[in-house]
Amino acid sequence: MSTAHLFIQASKAKNCKDLLPWAAAVRNHFWYAAREANGSEIKMKAVWFQILHHVVNEHEWVLNVDGSIGKCGHGPLPDHEGTAWLQKGSPSHLALKKIVEDKRLMRNITYFINFRHTGFLESFHSHLLMYAPKRHSYSYVGYKARILLAAIDFNQHASREQVTGDDGKPRFIARYSKLSKQYYPAAVLKPKEYTYITDLQKSVFQMRLDVEGHLSQHVSMAEDHPGRNFKRINMCPSPDIAKLVKAHLSRFEQSKSSRESGNSST
Higher pLDDT, 233 or 95: 95
The alpha carbon of residue 120 and the mean position of all alpha carbons in its chain are separated, in whole angstroms, by 9
Mean pLDDT score of the chain = 85
Alpha-carbon dihedral 24, 30, 35, 40, rounded to 10 degrees: 180
Average pLDDT over residues 41-56: 92
Nearest of 186, 167, 165 to residue 175 by alpha carbon? 186
Q: Indicate if the pLDDT at residue 73 is higher than 80.
A: yes
pLDDT in tens, 82-127: 788 999 999 999 999 999 998 999 999 999 999 887 888 999 999 9
Q: What is the pTM of this model?
A: 0.63
